[in-house]
């Protein structure tokens, strides 16, 4: 072996063992997650800011995209890795051809979503013929359709105006529409207005709106280990909310651009899932997750917005594995 050959080999070994090469080999897995402005997604920011994701070997980027249809389109196009939305919404998109797998649950709405209406509207049945702001193809449409169905009405019995949930709340407070399907803080703002009230909310509709994370099935299979680490880190964030609520609330309020007073006034409308809650939600073949996906699929198909039936096993299978 001549001197030049030995020098080449030594250089190669040096490069291989250099700190830069080692850090590249152990680079954190990047995950970009899209979500709307909803306090139920706040623990994601806690896990990020407290370093739980970083400790798990993950580089998590959180992006606010208000319309879940836009977020899902971005994910299908490869610009986003994971989307936060509701289980019924994922069921709708999966039934219409999107290749999705649930990862874990985040929270359940318990008064955080609802319908606000003018004070002369006494019941859901009184929405007939009135203008209602509701985002098409979203959880708001699911909630409205369920409420109308119980009142013997359909979406065709009202004058539905397609607008994002926050915009619908703002339009209602401004007096532009008769009613709106929205979430906090707009429910509280509407109730505080001279002409508005909360007509119905999810306190009377338990288990209807459960937020979750989902990704493309192929991406999920490639990164199962990363998502197991993600779930563990995320639930550390949920635990931190109980250990230090003052610090947790500051992180959530700052990142979602709301006052701590507004946040704290609305936290009772959300039930954050713990790791155990998540495991229970996906436990067994007849799990709450499977039932919600099935019921949402049947409902959306009945009202004519779903082409096919979502594959329940495919949609919930990975989440069941990750939860155990």
Determine the length of the chain: 324
Residue 195: per-residue pLDDT:
82
Q: Which two tokens stand for residue 82?
A: 């994971």
Beta strands in the chain (DSSP E): 29-35, 58-64, 82-86, 100-109, 113-118, 131-134, 159-162, 179-183, 196-201, 210-216, 270-272
3-state secondary structure of 190: helix
pTM given for the model: 0.80
pLDDT of residue 300: 86
Q: Which of 227, 278, 240 is nearest to 51 (CA)?
A: 240
Contact 97, 314 (CB under 8 A): no
The mean pLDDT of 22-43, rounded to a whole number, is 82
Which residues are bridge partners to 62 per DSSP? 33
Structure tokens at 257: 């651009």
pLDDT digits (tens, 9 = 90+) for 147-160: 998 999 999 999 99
Q: Is 131 helix (H, G, I), strand (E, B) or coil?
A: strand
Tens digits of residue pLDDT in 63-72: 999 888 899 9
How many other C-beta atoms can be found within 10 angstroms of the C-beta atom of residue 322? 21
Query: Which residue bears the tokens 């610090």?
Result: 247
**What is the spatial distance between Cα 84 and Cα 157, in angstroms, rounded to a whole number?**
31
Hey, what are 160's tokens?
Answer: 């539905």
3-state SS class at 214: strand
Distance CA 166, CA 174 (A): 12
Percent over 70 (pLDDT), the chain: 92
What does the alpha-carbon distance between residue 69 and residue 89 come to, in Å, rounded to a whole number? 9
């Amino acid at each position: 072996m001549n001197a030049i050959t030995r020098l080449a080999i030594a250089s190669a070994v040096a490069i291989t063992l250099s700190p830069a090469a080692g850090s590249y080999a152990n680079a954190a897995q990047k995950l970009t997650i899209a979500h709307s402005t909803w306090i139920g997604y706040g623990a994601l920011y806690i896990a990020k800011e407290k370093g739980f994701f970083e400790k798990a070997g993950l580089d998590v980027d959180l992006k606010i995209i208000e319309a879940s249809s836009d977020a899902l389109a971005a994910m299908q196009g490869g610009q986003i890795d994971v989307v936060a939305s509701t289980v019924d919404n994922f069921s709708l998109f999966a039934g219409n051809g999107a290749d999705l797998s649930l990862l874990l649950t985040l929270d359940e709405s318990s008064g955080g979503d609802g319908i606000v209406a003018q004070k002369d509207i006494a019941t859901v049945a009184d929405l007939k013929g009135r203008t209602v702001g509701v985002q098409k193809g979203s959880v708001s449409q699911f909630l409205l359709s369920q409420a109308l169905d119980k009142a013997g009405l359909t979406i065709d019995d009202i004058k539905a105006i397609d607008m994002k949930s926050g915009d619908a709340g703002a339009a209602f407070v401004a007096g532009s529409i008769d009613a709106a399907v929205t979430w906090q803080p707009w429910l509280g703002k509407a109730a505080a207005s001279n002409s508005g009230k909360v007509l119905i909310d999810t306190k009377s509709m338990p288990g209807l709106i459960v937020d979750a994370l989902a990704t493309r099935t192929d991406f999920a299979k490639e990164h199962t280990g990363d998502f197991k680490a993600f779930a563990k880190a995320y639930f550390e964030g949920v635990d931190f909310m109980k250990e230090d609520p003052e610090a947790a609330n500051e992180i959530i309020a700052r990142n979602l651009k709301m006052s701590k007073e507004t946040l704290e006034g609305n936290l009772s409308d959300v039930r954050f899932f713990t790791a155990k809650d998540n495991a229970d939600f996906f436990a067994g073949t007849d799990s709450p997750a499977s039932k919600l996906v099935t019921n949402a699929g049947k409902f959306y198909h009945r009202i004519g917005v779903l082409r096919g039936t979502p594959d329940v096993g495919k949609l919930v299978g990975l989440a069941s594995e990750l939860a155990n």
